Structure 1
Amino acid sequence: MKSKHFYIQIIAILLCLSAGAKDFNISSPDGKVNLEVKLGNQIFWSVKMDGIRVLDLSPIGIELENEHLGLNPKLLKSRVRKINETSTAVVPYKFRNITDHCNELLLIFKGNYSLRFRVYNNGAAYRIELDRNKSESVTIMD
């Protein structure tokens, strides 16, 4: 009987530990590029192209003067959307029409910041966005 309670306690502890971790996957429009985001004590991302890892699991964060964004992240909400827009270049260099075709993952965190990931047919990128007042200055530490 004691061993049954012991196993139930171990399972409960493991479930609690894994409850804070969350994974997101998003692929390019043609499905060849796959981006993975892992949330735990820190934010990590990795990229595969045609099933081959081209970017190992790497941390994402930015250290500001009074806080470190990316450590112990608290996810508020996430959103995925498909983008397929064409814009016209004011001064065309190579092409007059520029197509923006990708899939986007937006992660919004407690602490007034978000991460925007975009996965294109030939690559992937992310951007850290701070939701601050325009008059408020931000000091990024080295």
Structure 2
Amino acid sequence: MAQEHPIVISSLAALPEAAAALRQHLGTATVLCFEGEMGAGKTTFIKALCESLGVPAEEVSSPTFSLVNEYRDAQNQPIYHFDFYRLNDPQEAVHMGAQEYFDSGYLCLIEWPSRVAELLPTDHLLLTLTVTGPSSRELKIKN
């Protein structure tokens, strides 16, 4: 049975603490799928998570047009950040090698994963970001 672990994010200032809390729940998961409405803060949260892993903040941006951005963490390991919002067909992700990224063992952070649902590994984590106020959010982790 899937378990849900909610993380309350009271404000933008609470993002580093929320990112640290998420890291406690990761275990061996390397594919993290971020769902949430447009403007819920998926990219903003991913930026905080990457910063907590040692990626300089200015390097993290939404890969809306490129589909994938690569960053390096504090151990110089790659982190792959995907944004599949503009994807018209999952085959576009296949052609750009998404499954190889997902199978790489490196951290893959995916925005709009429902657009490539059939390509996702079964052991991915689903993270749902919900707007609860002007600057507050709730992040539900489902594994």
TM-score range, shorter chain: under 0.3
Query: TM-score w.r.t. structure 2 length?
Result: 0.23
Q: Which has the higher contact order (CA 8 A, sep 6+)?
A: 2
Query: TM-score w.r.t. structure 1 length?
Result: 0.23
Structure with the bigger percentage of helix: 2
Larger-Rg structure: 1
Structure with the bigger percentage of strand: 1
